[in-house]
Structure formats: C-alpha cells, structure tokens
Amino acid sequence: MRPIRLVDYDPAWFGLFRSRRETIATLLGDPADIHHIGSTSVPRLCAKPKLDIDAVLSSNGARINATEHLKKDGYVFHGDPYGADRWTFTKDEAPYGTRLYLCLPDNPAHRDRLLFRDYLRAHPKMAENYATLKRRLAEEANGDWNHYTGGKSDFVADILRRAHTELT
C-alpha cells in the first residue's frame, strides 16, 4: 500500500493553480470552465501533495478530443474510477502533482465539490476541523485508502448539507 501523505498548507498553491489553468486551457482546446477544487483550494488546509482541478467541457466530443491532447502532454488517463462521469487524469509535476477531472455541464459531483470548497473557504473553523480529521485518518489508515476516504464521508456529507442550506 502506498502511504497517505499530507502536507501543510502552501500559499503557493493558488499561483500554481493559475499557471496550470492556463496550460490546461490550451491543451483542452474547448472553452472550458476550470476550477481549483480539493483541499489545496482552501486556505490554511493541509492536503495531499497534488492540486485537484475540475474542467467543465461543452460536450463529450470535446472531452474525447481533450483526452488525446492531455495524454500527449504526459497526463495519465484513469477513466471514471468514481462512476461520477468525471474522467480522471494525473500528472507528476514538481513541486506538486496534478489531478485533473474532465466533466460536462451540470455534473452533480462537480457541483458538490464546488459547494464543499466554498463552504470550507467561508467557514475556517470547519476547515480546521476537516484538517484535524484528515490528519487523524491518515495516521490511522496506515496506507489503507479506503479507511482514509471512507472516514471522511460523514464529515463531507454534513458539510454538503450545510452548504446546500447556506450557499444555494
């Protein structure tokens, strides 16, 4: 099992996202709506050493075309491992890797990721609670990703309930 590694918040993540967004937009070739998501998008939150990025493309044809361009640029295609109609790509880059998801408009998983991010940005105490949970789970998991991910489920569901009430 590969270890679950978390790193402390790095203020460089936002500038790194802006730079990668420009590169990704060129590769996609479709006027995509590109969002910084995941823990690296929340100030002061620890994260795995990888930037999560969602790109919303206009059509499945555009997504198929973008896949070829991303592969040529060194992105590894992982299909749709979560069954959420978000195609997943990774690229090892320094100092932090990239996990890119391609989805279509009105994708529920994408919408939830934005709600979760925006809620934690607006509620620093909840982001702090999430960081504490993530650190505890990473230590307990001993490389068991199912334990780590599953252990966050109730917290994520609670935040999404709160976000739907407050932000929509």
Question: Can you list the domains of the chain with their CATH numbers?
Answer: 13-167 (3.30.460.10)
Strand partners, 34: 55
User: What pLDDT is recorded for position 31?
Assistant: 74
DSSP state of 46: -
Contact between 8 and 46 (Cβ < 8 Å):
yes
User: What pLDDT is recorded for position 32?
Assistant: 76
Q: What is the pTM of this model?
A: 0.93
User: What pLDDT is recorded for position 64?
Assistant: 94
User: What pLDDT is recorded for position 2?
Assistant: 79
Task: Please identify every stretch of the chain with a pLDDT value under 50, giving residue numbers as ranges.
Answer: none
Q: How far apart are CA 90 and CA 93, in angstroms?
A: 9
Contact between 66 and 53 (Cβ < 8 Å):
no
Query: Which residue do the tokens 């930037």 mark?
Result: 51
Q: How far apart are CA 141 and CA 87, in angstroms?
A: 26
Strand partners, 137: none
User: What pLDDT is recorded for position 46?
Assistant: 97
